[in-house]
Structure 1
Amino acid sequence: MSAAKHYLTDPTSAVLSNLNSLTLTNPSLLLDAANKIVYRNPSSILNPHNVSVVCGGGSGHEPGFAGFVGDGLLTACVAGTIFASPGAEQVRTCLQHRLPSESKGVLVVATNYTGDVLNFGMGVEKARALGKKVEMVVVGDDVGVGRERGGKVGRRGLSGTALVVKVVGALAEQGVGLEDCARVGRLVVDNLVSLGASLSRVHVPGRGIEEAREEEKRLGPELIEIGMGIHNEPGCEQVKTDLPGLVKIMLKQMLDQSDKDRSYVKIEKTDETILLINNFGGVSNLELGAITNEVVIQLEKNHGLKPRRIIQGTLFGSLDGPGFIVSVLKLADTKLGAGKSILGLIDAPVNAIGWPRCVTAETWEQNHKPPPLGMMEQEDETEPSNLKLDPSKLRSTLEPALKKLIASEAEVTRYDSVVGDGDCGIGLKRGAEAILKELPSMTSDDAMMAFAKICPTVENNMDGTSGALYAIFLNSLASNLRALDTSSPTPVTAEIWAKALAMSIEGLGRYTPAQPGDRTLMDALVPYVKVLQKTGDPKEAAKAAKVGADKTKGMKASLGRSVYVGGTGFEEVPDPGAYGLSVFLSGIADAL
């Protein structure tokens, strides 16, 4: 369910505080709080004769559009309350009093919602009556509402509006006249398609939890709504599918020319395009990146399109909505010359907080190609040594020990669920299973060749703190064994193992301060090595490791996640890392 808890419960205060924050993070901006207008300080405008560009609408779509006020984008933005258009008098005040008086015209951009169109339109007419030269572009880019359902209202305005204001803002910055700015703005709208999808509704600050729950009932927990509007409006359909299936449906609705109800723009394989993946506001960056990746793959595979530019981020949000919008813009000819193409205008620099800091046009156009396979990564070759291990004995020793460790996963996980985050058992199991798969390939009698297999296997299959510690320790063990290499073939004895292990514990101290008594795997490892050094007997050493692990019951952690997880369960369970290691070491002892 969308979050029903907010830091601010008064929506009016939330809007004004947010608008004021823009003047704090961009000192070239001013705020008319009474009229909720964010505008550029006249002293920051180098060319006041240029066309002024104004946009706006209901709040809740941050950073659009107040966050786009700045050089190369908007001259001003008029904001309403959450999801409600500003009033006509606010718009008139902006057009008449918050723009450079020397400006040779004003272009107003509004999204195609009834309130926005009426109130911005009324403000435009009032300004015209007072002698202002004003043009208005209305953006409708949504394909979720088809022609039949949209009727005379037409397409709703979605995140493609951000691309429109970017293009006209760049034109105005370059000194292009009002008529051409308006014409190109409409050209962009005519070549733009967008469609959104969301997992659930958004929650507006100030509304109660029960009201939020009622909104959630409109969409089941397993359904995704396609075509959902940016104000919680219902979409065109609800589906149960995965991400590839969702993207396939969305792109078909956007680009299928056989769908006469939604084929608003004819985009062919030969057309150049720009792709925008817009976050409603509640999708994590990780998921948004995966969404972008899937869209790009399917655009090329199913529709033959390779976008010239790909923009990803939150440009036109919907509060905390767990949704996204895909926008595809066909690059039509502006008829203003090569220096003022739509692509060039998208690339033009801006100085506004809300526009994403994208990579430069030069980087896009360099057409970077990956180097041939093998050029960047050469297989590391392990230098042979004279330290000898019987490979069949190595396999017969490791196999039962690894299987014993795998079998202990549930128990280790249970211990870690009490004192940690529950992933220790899974991590040890994953590492053990990976090494088990490598055992048949360990046929060399060179001990270093075994480590050449084991070390990268652990690194690639065990993550988290335990994975890092094991990887460091095993690599250090390999290094220290090599330091004990001899000039003639020598079997690796218990004495050599003990010496190398002791050196590796010392090396591990460079990366962790853990010592016995801190409730870590060191409580099992250190006793094992000490007894092995003293007796040369792996069985006695394994017993010492088990005793050390058992002693961690009731031991308060000094290091690791257990320190801040807290709780009282540590009195009854051993440290999961120490216990897991003791299981493995006892498995080795049993196999010898």
Structure 2
Amino acid sequence: MSIQFKHFVNTPESLVLDSLEGLCTLNPQLALAPADKASPDRSKVALICGGGSGHEPAHAGFATGCLLATAVCGNIFASPNASQVRRGIDLAENEKGTVIIVKNYTGDILNFGLAKEQYAAQHPEKADRVKFVIVADDVAVGKTQGKIVGRRGLAGTVLVYKIAGALAKRGGSLEEVYSIAQWVASRVGTIGVGLEHCHVPGTAASESHLSPSEIEIGMGIHNEPGNRRLSPVPPLKELIPQLLDFLTSTNDPERSFLPFRGNDKVVLLVNNLGGVSELELAGVVGEARRALDARGVQVERVLAGTFMTSLNMPGFSLTVLLLPSPADLDTSAPSTSLLLSLLDEKPNVPGWNSSRWGAIRLRAEDPAALIAAVQRACTALVVEEPEITRMDNIAGDGDCGLTLKAGASAVLKEVERGRVTGEDVVGSVITIAQVAEEQMGGTSGALYSIFFSALAQGLQAHATAARTLTPAHWSAALSDALARLYTYTRARPPSRTLVDPLAAFAGALAAQGGADFAGAVRAAGDAALATRDLEAKAGRSAYVEGDRLRQERVPDPGAWGVKAIVEGLLG
């Protein structure tokens, strides 16, 4: 496999400075020392990080916002010298103290450590106000191999930045910020995989390290060789479980770094090492989530994007942050809710785009009751199939009952598989939307899929500050979903379609702020029944001769299906 060795640069020697100047152009909050234009908030703990360049957006792309006060950047894959780091400490001088966070590489530790000791020697009264955190999250390096030097620092470092930085922005004390950084650093693990190594600008063009049929697992971010090579390149469904074995193993004496105990909760970070397309990276995200679900690991957050690169390396890394378990409650572990809330805060920095965040896991107030309601609604559709089919033989083309039954039966199977759960409502609603699209098909399948997809978006939009969904969240999301549905259909009540009871249900629920669910169900039932006396303005019934519909007084079958669903939910 060929290595890309051509680059867009003025000169290799000016590349780092040119890049930093461009970054400052993108974000006026940033200033490039020694310009002395930066004005950090000196009432809060400062975070300093850095290391060699070539890992963009780390580290300068995370400066300011609620991540870092100062990023100290060396040449490509080379640590900044101690004088540069000292300058960074001086620029970040503040009232509460400073936490230095570095990856576990000898040059970084020596130069950042030397700068810290020099600062302490010159300011003995402030010596205890500069703390030092080392992140070593590479699980490809075994315990024997890393006995002296330890494991390398990889993409898990950015989770340490994010959580500690958000706590500092909230006004956390030096000890609080330092402690949470240390704890997160102790609970992250990362494994990388590449199709090829990268090329450093200004160096001679090199031959390929890997054959066209090979990949390498455990590569470092400075072109270091990996742990093993695989050939042929396996499909993701075979590769991802192998990578997760490195991260979650508890019986490998060389790599049992994280204390997985069963029923574990994690944050998943999928990091582009520089040369992977967005198309491929999204596939990695989906496969990693499925593989963790299959292991019984509960994924609380998913982050995906370009966070810590190895220049243009065609590869990616997986990082898991193992969240506190009940066994950790008696220790100094921070709470899961605190960690997740710090992760969820959106920083105003160029390197951390909030669009890279996956769906936040939202929980039902009573997860078991929600699933029971879903099962009742699906069962009600199955029971009503003959009656809906009879209605549709008169008012449509006769397939509405079977279509709804197919969708309901498929949802029941997803409940059995654990893909529809009250612990992850957004994910469950998305699953139901997919079922509607794939198992129902036709107009009904499309309408239901659009509605549930929009409902999932609405739930996320209205529950940004919560983790448990309330009736008010549901009500607001239903109104949003109905409005989104209206952009794809001309049907408006009264129209003798499923829109009639759906609009009645959403409207009645909104009128009471979600408080009167039973009243909303009655309104939907009344609207469905009223369709028997309505002129068909949309849907298949619009093509049926009007006199026949008036004589038969048959309710709209689609509307009757909505009635069955909401009555089933109510029980």
Mapped pair 1:288 → 2:258: no
Mapped pair 1:94 → 2:88: yes
Which residue of structure 1 aligns with residue 538 of structure 2? none
Give, in angstroms, the shift of residue 150 of structure 1.
Answer: 0.9
CA separation of 1:352 and 1:257: change in aligned 2, threshold 3 A = same
CA separation of 1:298 and 1:81: change in aligned 2, threshold 3 A = same
Mapped pair 1:55 → 2:49: yes
Which residue of structure 2 aligns with residue 344 of structure 1? 341
CA separation of 1:24 and 1:238: change in aligned 2, threshold 3 A = same
Mapped pair 1:12 → 2:13: yes
Give, in angstroms, the shift of residue 375 of structure 1.
Answer: 9.1
Give, in angstroms, the shift of residue 290 of structure 1.
Answer: 0.7
Mapped pair 1:127 → 2:119: yes
* Residue from 298, 302, 308 that aligns with 1:306: 298
Which residue of structure 1 aligns with residue 68 of structure 2? 74
- CA–CA distance in 1 between the matches of 2:13 and 2:270? 29
Partners of 1:347 and 1:361 within 8 A in 2: no
Alignment gaps of 5+ in structure 1: 382-486, 488-592
**3-state SS of the aligned residue for 1:238?**
strand
Give, in angstroms, the shift of residue 31 of structure 1.
Answer: 0.1
* Residue from 181, 190, 195 that aligns with 1:194: 190
Give, in angstroms, the shift of residue 28 of structure 1.
Answer: 1.0
**3-state SS of the aligned residue for 1:16?**
helix
CA separation of 1:40 and 1:271: change in aligned 2, threshold 3 A = farther
* Residue from 335, 353, 356 that aligns with 2:353: 356
**3-state SS of the aligned residue for 2:6?**
coil
Instruction: After TM superposition, list the pairs within 5 Å mapping 1:182-581 onto structure 2.
Output: 182-208=178-204, 211-213=205-207, 216=208, 218-240=209-231, 241-301=234-294, 303-332=295-324, 341-358=338-355, 363-365=360-362, 367-368=425-426, 369-370=428-429, 371=432, 373-374=435-436, 379-380=442-443
Q: Deviations over 1:525-572 (max 9, x none)?
A: xxxxxxxxxxxxxxxxxxxxxxxxxxxxxxxxxxxxxxxxxxxxxxxx
Q: Deviations over 1:263-308 (max 9, x none)?
A: 011123322110000000100000011111111111111x211210
Which residue of structure 2 aligns with residue 85 of structure 1? 79
**3-state SS of the aligned residue for 1:319?**
coil
Give, in angstroms, the shift of residue 336 of structure 1.
Answer: 8.3
CA separation of 1:380 and 1:335: change in aligned 2, threshold 3 A = same
- CA–CA distance in 1 between the matches of 2:357 and 2:342? 12
Count of aligned pairs: 368
Partners of 2:323 and 2:336 within 8 A in 1: no
Give, in angstroms, the shift of residue 10 of structure 1.
Answer: 2.5
Counterpart code for 1:356:
N
Counterpart code for 2:20:
L
Partners of 1:57 and 1:110 within 8 A in 2: yes
Partners of 2:303 and 2:357 within 8 A in 1: no
Partners of 1:2 and 1:321 within 8 A in 2: no
Partners of 2:180 and 2:334 within 8 A in 1: no
Mapped pair 1:173 → 2:169: yes
- CA–CA distance in 2 between the matches of 1:77 and 1:337? 26
CA separation of 1:76 and 1:143: change in aligned 2, threshold 3 A = same
CA separation of 1:299 and 1:364: change in aligned 2, threshold 3 A = closer
Q: Deviations over 1:17-72 (max 9, x none)?
A: 111111111101100169xxxx9821xx4x42110000000000000010000121
Q: Deviations over 1:97-140 (max 9, x none)?
A: x12x4331000000000000100100111111222420010000
Which residue of structure 2 aligns with residue 26 of structure 1? 27
**3-state SS of the aligned residue for 1:120?**
helix
Q: Deviations over 1:363-385 (max 9, x none)?
A: 5426223247559976349xxxx
Mapped pair 1:110 → 2:102: yes
- CA–CA distance in 2 between the matches of 1:181 and 1:205? 37
- CA–CA distance in 1 between the matches of 2:336 and 2:160? 18
**3-state SS of the aligned residue for 1:32?**
coil
Give, in angstroms, the shift of residue 181 of structure 1.
Answer: 1.2
Counterpart code for 1:107:
V
Partners of 2:302 and 2:358 within 8 A in 1: no
- CA–CA distance in 2 between the matches of 1:40 and 1:356? 24
Q: Deviations over 1:78-113 (max 9, x none)?
A: 0000000000111011102x12x4331000000000
CA separation of 1:363 and 1:146: change in aligned 2, threshold 3 A = closer
Counterpart code for 1:220:
S
Counterpart code for 1:151:
K
Q: Deviations over 1:235-263 (max 9, x none)?
A: 11111233222212111111111101000
Q: Deviations over 1:192-222 (max 9, x none)?
A: 11100001010111123xx322xx2x32221
- CA–CA distance in 2 between the matches of 1:120 and 1:283? 32
Give, in angstroms, the shift of residue 348 of structure 1.
Answer: 1.6
Counterpart code for 2:105:
Y
Partners of 1:171 and 1:340 within 8 A in 2: no
CA separation of 1:201 and 1:186: change in aligned 2, threshold 3 A = same
**3-state SS of the aligned residue for 1:230?**
coil
**3-state SS of the aligned residue for 2:47?**
strand
Counterpart code for 1:323:
G
- CA–CA distance in 1 between the matches of 2:5 and 2:66? 37
CA separation of 1:175 and 1:374: change in aligned 2, threshold 3 A = closer
Give, in angstroms, the shift of residue 339 of structure 1.
Answer: 9.4
Counterpart code for 2:225:
P
- CA–CA distance in 2 between the matches of 1:266 and 1:362? 26
Percent of aligned pairs with the same residue? 38
Counterpart code for 2:264:
D
Counterpart code for 2:186:
D
Counterpart code for 1:57:
G
Give, in angstroms, the shift of residue 335 of structure 1.
Answer: 5.1
